[in-house]
Homo-oligomer: A and B are copies of this chain.
């Protein structure tokens, strides 16, 4: 039987919109990877009554209940008290935890502030989970058929506890997660994607999940089925239906897919960006080990920089303006030549909200990839909807995909 899991995120900052709960997604990915089924996420404010209410709702619907947040030393850290009430027990001082916290402070040459003492007051019956990276005492507690794990809300600590304790504890041989294939698409809207994959969705027992990744400019698609072969068949059909729109497979991001190609083929790259302002370079340099493949990036926001740093002709800029295929091509070739790279990328466009015209509206972006051969040139013109952030994100994705195709990555195989 598939175990059901629920996640409760505790913190008033989440409900007023100051904070974004990324912990629940991170934990969900791990829980699903172990074969558990996550049935709900719930966020509640730092109030004992609200936390208790949330714990009850979640515990009735899951065998495994993870909470994040509310384990710190300040007044608004109330998870310990709410869990104790949920289980109908009292709080008591856990001496080894107090000692551990004292030692953490001692390591930095400081005395433990009195306020931190409450972090060692845990519900009776709780089992402490060792936390080597922070003062919060994580713990688990069984009550009414549910095992609750209380984790700190600081992502780094939460992840450390998952990796070092929960992952091993929750792994269970009898849980068989469904077979899955994941891939990412670019340059196709979610609704067009859904229509294109209608026959895949209609395959018996196949589940298709879509997740638009606005900041990455891609859509993540997951195919699930209990049977490995059925997933493989569904994937082959999806791949044939989507062709070059598939830009990455197996959980890779578009940037990772591109980097993999660059590594495999020994290609070195340089970027020249105007309207994306360094986003393409930042996406590549987010990847470990990219320094062997990424030589240089030029953020040539002004026309003067385009001329000086990339050798774009002043006459061309005067005649055609900065946003045209010829300037994109000159930027790509300039970056390639300047850095001595195999591939050069050029991106120029109108990110908005200002700067648009009827001829060159907001969202218009010209992209070019030069190389690997001296005469190789790929051009792409797109008009992206959305605000500045979205135009930049989508242009970055389209530009990285153009580089990927220039590097020889066409439609996905496998």
Contact = CB atoms under 8 A, between A and B. Distances in A.
A40 B18 contact: no
B386 A156 contact: yes
Nearest to A392: B286
A22 interface: yes
Contacts of A308: 338
A50 interface: yes
Q: Most chain-B CB neighbours within 10 Å: which of A29, A280, A339, A385?
A: A339
A299 B301 contact: no
How many chain copies does the complex carry?
2
Contacts of A305: 295-296, 339
Contact of A299 (B53, B194, B298): B298
A29 B17 contact: yes
Q: Most chain-B CB neighbours within 10 Å: which of A24, A296, A299?
A: A299
Interface stretch (A88-96, A168-176, A204-212, A231-239): A204-212
Contacts of A386: 156
Interface string A9-30: 1001111111111101111111
A78 B37 CA distance: 19
A390 B159 CA distance: 13
B288 A353 contact: yes
B296 A297 contact: no
A302 interface: yes
A303 to B, nearest CB: 10
Interface in A79-116: 113
Interface string A281-313: 110111011110011111111101100110000
Contacts of A14: 25, 28, 41
A42 B42 contact: yes
Interface stretch (A142-150, A271-279, A326-334): A271-279
A252 interface: no
A39 interface: yes
A297 B294 contact: no
Nearest to A222: B18
Contact of A277 (B54, B284, B339, B388): B284
Contacts of A374: none
Contact of A278 (B155, B278, B355): B278
A43 interface: yes
Interface string A27-66: 1111110000011111111000010011001000100000
A307 B95 CA distance: 58
Given A41-B15, A75-B201, A154 B190 contact: yes
B16 A20 contact: no
A392 B28 CA distance: 25
A84 B385 CA distance: 34
A240 interface: no
Contacts of A194: 72-74
A302 to B, nearest CB: 5
B285 A301 contact: yes
A32 B353 CA distance: 27
A389 interface: yes
A373 interface: no
29 contacts: A13-B209, A14-B25, A15-B28, A15-B38, A16-B209, A17-B27, A17-B38, A19-B25, A19-B211, A20-B20, A21-B41, A22-B214, A42-B43, A72-B191, A276-B282, A276-B285, A277-B286, A277-B297, A278-B285, A281-B281, A285-B299, A291-B355, A294-B299, A296-B300, A296-B302, A297-B297, A297-B298, A309-B309, A309-B338
Given A17-B30, A19-B212, A288-B388, 9 more contacts: A14-B25, A14-B28, A18-B209, A20-B22, A42-B43, A73-B194, A279-B285, A295-B301, A295-B304
